[in-house]
Amino acid sequence: MGYRNALEVLPPELISQIQQYVDGEIIYIPRQEENRRKWGDNTHTRSDLHARNDEIYRLYLEGTSVKELSERFYLSTQCIYKILSEYK
């Protein structure tokens, strides 16, 4: 999300109307619903976490304990249990 000066992108009539509601304040204008992106769409974070969770579940099925998974992936045991419950 970037900051843009309204004087550069909006017509003066519209700026005048907006100033009746907010004068000199910063406001957020949300994206239109069809232009919204889900979390992680701009990066590989979502797929990276899915791959990590797949690996955790695979190792668990192979006999790795929750405590060992917790230490290996630097996650709390509660987090490991949550990941495992999503796969069951």
Nearest C-alpha neighbor of 48 from the set 77, 65, 73: 73
Three-state DSSP class for residue 23:
coil
pLDDT score of 30: 86
Please give the model's pTM, rounded to 2 decimal places.
Answer: 0.58
Residue 81 phi/psi, 5-degree rounding, is: -60, -40
Q: Cα 40 vs. chain centroid, distance in angstroms?
A: 5
pLDDT along the chain (88 residues), means of 10: 86 94 90 78 84 97 97 97 94
